[in-house]
């Protein structure tokens, strides 16, 4: 492998500049992560930041995590493919944050000592529900992680000529290091700075767009050269609109990235933080999407639509724009990869290793296992991403039908006593299968929609035919999955009883008083 | 904190400004795509309008410079597609034109993304251009794209199906959330100072 340092005609930044930026920000993130993570002595500190994250940090981490490199790459791609509707469709992902806002409050109340989404499903639906949910969660988390690693290598390469393998390795390595040092404390702390840098960068780009691009020109060019991009009745775009929204719902509702933050935020903070995060995130894909729509008016030839956004931003802003794009991209990559590493390691420790061990692990053991998991996830994603053999959009949207099928089991599980293990399992399995078939046979942009629809119908019918009468208070009690063997249950009794006594929202009889729908 | 971030970005930009750009202005590009191509390296008029292939190329060179699309027939129900063709070593960039004469792509990569096409049949040709903007090769066979969008009835059915699912979800969440203020009021206060700032 060679390490070019001279400028090439195909890149806007010299590789040497890219290497220096990578070094500066890489060292900064690791140092900040180590500093922020100095409090992560206990497992609670490492996994859920002591369950005491406030509104500012909570909002920042929601925004930073949801602004991935996909937002800067795929939102312009959506706009170029599906026009104005495509841009709107991408921005509907913010509705997922709005919808999750009240859910995060209920999650925090029902499981004050919880760690993961899979833990909720295991205790709510037992093994029948948790097995398909764990498979979907792992598939999604690994897919997202690998696609982020690939996007890192690809973006740094096209921006500065840094070889794909080098850029990808540095991005993954830096994130693994600071997550390893500080766990959730480091993730949320760095997210705060990263979100500020990302938002400032996007505001600068938005201002530059308004100053340099004549809206009337853009509209006229699209009207004459690419008329479907302005059409209200663009069939593919109409199909994609709610598909993308439901994909976003599925991603947020099921992913431990968002559940772990709900557990990490102080009581009462989650709903406000997620709602504010959604508001801050909403305009981002609109700005990014407009970059894609402006490309034809600027006379920019597009080979790969997912690079249209950075390309147009760099065109409008020149050298400063290229630097800004580089930094924003690095921040958005890091803020997503670190979240995935932390949340997925929680999932591995709490939902795979601990249940397999059939005893409650000590705080120190879980802390150590978390660190091993983070390294393992980093190595795995690095190894798979090394081949760079799949397109970003394909990897991302393949998970859509699967996460779409989790929406109803999660919402129903949080609010319906009648939601039963059979209904949840069948909804996830049938929804995933139907969504994947639709994805392959009809159109990729209907996979999540079909998955959510089939899952919802299945869930509703089976909840009626095989109703449960779940006691929500048990979620705050002993760490015992439905149908678990007594040995495991008794092993976890001591600490779980303590947790049960401190459970807010439970009355004397142990029944959660409200927020349930019979 | 915001000031620190802004200062840092400005300092970084100052430190790297002037070092970062490629010296060849007409080749400013990222993603291996050339920007400002029409402004900085315009084709001669004759090459923009059905330009003849340069006669200076000898037959051997011409035969080695045959240009062809990797795929010449497309059906695009979404109105977008990617055209690809073989790369020529001697080409500085490529120009793809629609049969209407509209140039839909100019850049150094042998790949063009075209979108926003209404129902209809379209033909595309690609020209390979040298550094002077002269056409050195042209695709022997055009790429023919037939666009028949998805039926609007099906699209609207999926649109309204998605809308119903969305509204149902929101109704369930709101109904569940409306019960929570009562529950929250009954909770003991666990507020502690924020520790991670």
Q: Based on the structure, what is the number of domains in chain B? A: 1
As to burial, measured by CB atoms within 10 angstroms (0-12 exposed, 13-18 middle, 19+ buried), residue A282 is middle
Interchain proximity A268–B159, CB inside 8 Å: no
Select from A304, A411, A514 the Cβ nearest to the Cβ of B173.
Answer: A411
Contacts of A21 (CB under 8 A, 6+ apart): A160, A323, A326, A327, A330, B12, B16
Q: B99 lies in a domain?
A: yes
Q: Give me the pLDDT at residue A477, please.
A: 67
Return phi, psi of residue B138, to 5°.
-135, 145
Q: B73 lies in a domain?
A: yes
**Concatenated DSSP letters for A144-198?**
HHHHHHHHHHHHHHHHH---HHHHHHHHHHHHHHHHHHHHHHHHHHHHHHHHHHH
Mean pLDDT by 10 residues, chain A (518 residues): 42 80 90 85 87 91 81 85 92 93 94 93 93 93 87 82 91 92 88 87 83 88 93 93 93 93 92 94 88 86 82 78 83 87 92 85 90 94 83 67 95 94 96 92 85 96 93 77 43 36 36 45
Q: State both tokens at B171.
A: 């109704």
Interchain proximity B13–A512, CB inside 8 Å: no
Q: B153 lies in a domain?
A: no
Interchain proximity A21–B12, CB inside 8 Å: yes
As to burial, measured by CB atoms within 10 angstroms (0-12 exposed, 13-18 middle, 19+ buried), residue A272 is middle
Q: Which helix (H) or strand (E) holds B98?
A: strand B93-98
Report the C-alpha gap between B67 and B143 in whole angstroms.
12
Nearest-by-CA chain A residue for B176: A515
Q: State both tokens at B145.
A: 């794209």
Q: B23 lies in a domain?
A: no
CA angle, A109 as apex, A106 and A112 as ends, to 5°? Answer: 130
Q: B194 lies in a domain?
A: no
Q: Give me the pLDDT at residue A102, please.
A: 94
Contacts of A126 (CB under 8 A, 6+ apart): A421, A481, A482, A483
Q: For B161, what's the count of Cα atoms within 13 Å in the CB-facing half-sphere?
A: 20
Contacts of B5 (CB under 8 A, 6+ apart): A193, A196, A197, A200
| Chains A & B: contacts with CB separation below 8 Å | 297
Q: B105 lies in a domain?
A: yes
Separation in Å, CA of B63 to nearest CA in chain A: 26
Q: Give me the pLDDT at residue A171, please.
A: 92
Structural domains in chain A, sorted by start? 15-388 (1.20.1730.10)
Select from B24, B192, B194 the Cβ nearest to the Cβ of A9.
Answer: B24
Interchain proximity B33–A303, CB inside 8 Å: yes
Q: For A490, what's the count of Cα atoms within 13 Å in the CB-facing half-sphere?
A: 3
A168: closest CA among A186, A150, A145?
A: A150
Query: A407-415 and A93-110 helices cross at what angle (nearest 10)?
Result: 40
Per-residue pLDDT tens digits for B44-92: 333 333 344 444 444 444 445 689 999 999 999 999 999 999 999 889 9
Which residues in chain B touch residue A83, judged by CB atoms under 8 angstroms apart?
116
Query: Which domain covers residue B132, as residue numbers?
Result: 38-147
Report the C-alpha gap between A194 and A180 in whole angstroms.
18
Q: Which residues of chain B have pLDDT under 70?
A: 1-65, 180-197
Which residues in chain A touch residue B191, judged by CB atoms under 8 angstroms apart?
266-268
What is the biggest distance separating any 2 CA atoms in chain A, rounded to whole angstroms? 72
Which residues in chain B touch residue A407, judged by CB atoms under 8 angstroms apart?
169
Which residues in chain B touch residue A24, judged by CB atoms under 8 angstroms apart?
12
Which residues in chain A touch residue B82, judged by CB atoms under 8 angstroms apart?
303
Interchain proximity A314–B78, CB inside 8 Å: no
Select from B19, B155, B196 the Cβ nearest to the Cβ of A235.
Answer: B155
Q: What is the DSSP letter of A507?
A: -
Distance from the first to the final alpha carbon of chain A: 62
Separation in Å, CA of B146 to nearest CA in chain A: 15
Separation in Å, CA of B174 to nearest CA in chain A: 8
Q: Give me the pLDDT at residue A158, please.
A: 78
pTM given for the model = 0.79
Select from B20, B159, B191 the Cβ nearest to the Cβ of A14.
Answer: B20
As to burial, measured by CB atoms within 10 angstroms (0-12 exposed, 13-18 middle, 19+ buried), residue A363 is middle
Q: B31 lies in a domain?
A: no
Report the C-alpha gap between B140 and B72 in whole angstroms.
11
Whether A88 and chain B come into contact, CB under 8 Å, resolves to no
A415: closest CA among B173, B171, B18?
A: B173
Q: Give me the pLDDT at residue A65, please.
A: 83
- Mapped onto helix, strand or coil, the DSSP state of residue A373 is helix
CA angle, B21 as apex, B15 and B23 as ends, to 5°? Answer: 130
**Concatenated DSSP letters for A249-282?**
HHHHHH-HHHHHHHHHBPTTHHHHHHHHHHHHHT
- Mapped onto helix, strand or coil, the DSSP state of residue A517 is strand
Q: What is the DSSP letter of A12?
A: S
Interchain proximity B16–A20, CB inside 8 Å: yes
Q: Find residues 478-507 of chain A whose CB sits inside 8 Å of chain B.
A: 504-505, 507
Whether A444 and chain B come into contact, CB under 8 Å, resolves to no
Nearest-by-CA chain A residue for B93: A301
CA torsion, points A88, A93, A98, A103, in degrees to nearest 10?
A: 150
Report the C-alpha gap between A312 and A292 in whole angstroms.
7
Q: Find residues 218-247 of chain A whose CB sits inside 8 Å of chain B.
A: 222, 225-229, 231, 233-236, 238-239, 241-243, 245-246
Q: Find residues 113-142 of chain B whose CB sits inside 8 Å of chain A.
A: 113, 115-118
Whether B9 and chain A come into contact, CB under 8 Å, resolves to yes
A188: closest CA among A112, A273, A84?
A: A273
Interchain proximity B9–A227, CB inside 8 Å: no
CATH code of the domain containing B135: 2.60.40.10
Q: State both tokens at B11.
A: 């300092």
Interchain proximity B18–A319, CB inside 8 Å: yes
CA angle, B66 as apex, B61 and B71 as ends, to 5°? Answer: 165
Interchain proximity B17–A319, CB inside 8 Å: yes
**Concatenated DSSP letters for A301-350?**
--SSGGGHHHHHHHHHHHHHHHHHHHHHHHHHHHHHHHHHHHHHHHHHII
Report the C-alpha gap between B179 and B182 in whole angstroms.
6
Q: Find residues 33-52 of chain B whose CB sits inside 8 Å of chain A.
A: 33-39
Whether B58 and chain A come into contact, CB under 8 Å, resolves to no
Interchain proximity A443–B2, CB inside 8 Å: no
- Mapped onto helix, strand or coil, the DSSP state of residue B75 is strand
Q: Give me the pLDDT at residue A394, please.
A: 64
Interchain proximity B183–A233, CB inside 8 Å: no
Burial A416-452 (b: 16+ CB within 10 A, else e): bbbbbbbbbbbbbbbbbebbbebbeebbbbbbbbbbb
Distance from the first to the final alpha carbon of chain B: 11
Q: B26 lies in a domain?
A: no
A231: closest CA among A243, A213, A219?
A: A219
Which residues in chain A touch residue B109, judged by CB atoms under 8 angstroms apart?
303
Report the C-alpha gap between B158 and A99 in whole angstroms.
21
Which residues in chain B touch residue A305, judged by CB atoms under 8 angstroms apart?
113, 115
């Amino acid at each position: 492998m060679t390490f070019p340092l001279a400028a090439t005609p195909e890149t806007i930044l010299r590789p040497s500049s890219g290497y220096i930026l990578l070094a500066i920000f890489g060292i900064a993130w690791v140092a900040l992560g180590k500093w922020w993570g100095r409090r992560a002595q206990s497992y609670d500190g490492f996994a859920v930041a002591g369950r005491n994250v406030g509104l500012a940090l909570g909002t920042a981490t929601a925004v930073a995590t949801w602004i991935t490199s996909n937002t800067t790459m795929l939102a312009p791609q959506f706009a170029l493919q599906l026009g104005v509707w495509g841009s709107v469709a991408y921005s509907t992902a913010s509705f997922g944050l709005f919808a999750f806002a009240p859910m995060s409050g209920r999650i925090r109340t029902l499981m004050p000592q919880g760690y993961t989404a899979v833990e909720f499903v295991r205790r709510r639906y037992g093994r029948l529900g948790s097995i398909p949910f764990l498979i979907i969660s792992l598939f999604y988390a690994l897919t997202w992680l690998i696609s982020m690693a690939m996007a890192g290598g690809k973006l740094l390469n096209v921006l500065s000529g840094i070889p794909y393998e080098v850029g990808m390795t540095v991005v993954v390595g830096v994130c693994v290091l600071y997550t390893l040092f500080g766990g959730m404390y480091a993730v949320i702390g760095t997210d705060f700075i990263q979100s500020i840098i990302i938002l400032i960068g996007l505001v600068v780009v938005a201002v530059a767009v308004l100053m340099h691009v004549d809206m009337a020109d853009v509209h006229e060019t699209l009207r004459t050269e690419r008329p479907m991009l302005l059409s209200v009745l663009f069939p593919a775009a109409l199909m994609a609109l709610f598909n993308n929204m439901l994909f976003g719902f599925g991603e947020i509702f099921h992913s431990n990235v968002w559940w772990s933050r709900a557990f990490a935020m102080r009581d009462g903070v989650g709903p406000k933080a997620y709602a504010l995060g959604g508001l801050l995130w909403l305009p981002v894909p609109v700005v990014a999407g407009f970059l894609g729509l402006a490309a034809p008016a600027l006379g920019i030839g597009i080979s790969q639509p997912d690079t249209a956004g950075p390309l147009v931003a760099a065109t409008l802003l020149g050298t400063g724009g290229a630097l800004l794009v580089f930094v924003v991209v690095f921040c958005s990559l890091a803020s997503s990869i670190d979240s995935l590493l932390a949340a997925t390691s929680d999932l591995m420790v709490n939902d795979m290793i601990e249940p397999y061990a059939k005893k409650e692990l000590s705080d120190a053991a879980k802390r150590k296992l978390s660190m091993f998991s983070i390294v393992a996830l980093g190595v795995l994603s690095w190894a798979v991403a090394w081949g760079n053999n799949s397109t970003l959009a394909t990897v991302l949207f393949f998970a859509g039908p699967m996460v779409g099928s989790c929406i109803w089991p999660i919402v129903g599980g949080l609010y319906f006593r009648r939601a039963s293990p059979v209904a949840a399992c069948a909804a996830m399995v049938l929804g995933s299968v139907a969504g994947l078939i639709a994805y392959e046979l009809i159109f990729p942009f209907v996979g999540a929609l079909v998955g959510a629809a089939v899952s919802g119908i299945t869930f509703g019918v089976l909840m009626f035919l095989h109703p449960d009468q779940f006691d929500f208070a048990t979620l705050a009690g002993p760490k015992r999955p439905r149908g678990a063997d007594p040995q495991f249950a008794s092993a976890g009794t001591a600490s779980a009883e303590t947790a049960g006594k401190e459970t807010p929202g439970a009355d004397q009889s142990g029944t959660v008083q409200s927020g349930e729908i019979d | 904190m915001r000031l620190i971030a802004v200062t840092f970005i400005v300092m970084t930009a100052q430190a790297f400004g002037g070092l970062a750009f490629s010296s060849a202005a007409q080749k400013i590009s990222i993603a291996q795509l050339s920007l400002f191509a029409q402004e900085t390296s315009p084709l001669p008029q004759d090459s923009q309008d059905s330009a003849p292939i340069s006669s200076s190329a000898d037959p051997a060179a011409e035969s080695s410079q045959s240009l062809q699309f990797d795929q010449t027939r497309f059906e695009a129900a979404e109105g977008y597609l990617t055209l690809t063709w073989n790369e020529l070593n001697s080409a500085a960039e490529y120009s793809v034109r629609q049969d209407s004469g509209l140039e839909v792509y100019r850049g150094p990569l042998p790949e063009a993304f075209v979108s926003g096409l209404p129902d209809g049949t379209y033909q595309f040709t690609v020209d390979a251009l040298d550094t002077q903007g002269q056409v050195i090769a042209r695709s022997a066979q055009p790429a023919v794209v037939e666009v028949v969008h998805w039926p609007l009835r099906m699209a609207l059915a999926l649109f309204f199906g998605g809308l119903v699912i969305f509204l149902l979800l929101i109704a369930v969440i709101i109904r569940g959330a409306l019960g929570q203020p009562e529950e929250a009021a009954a909770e003991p206060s666990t507020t502690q100072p924020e520790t991670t700032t």
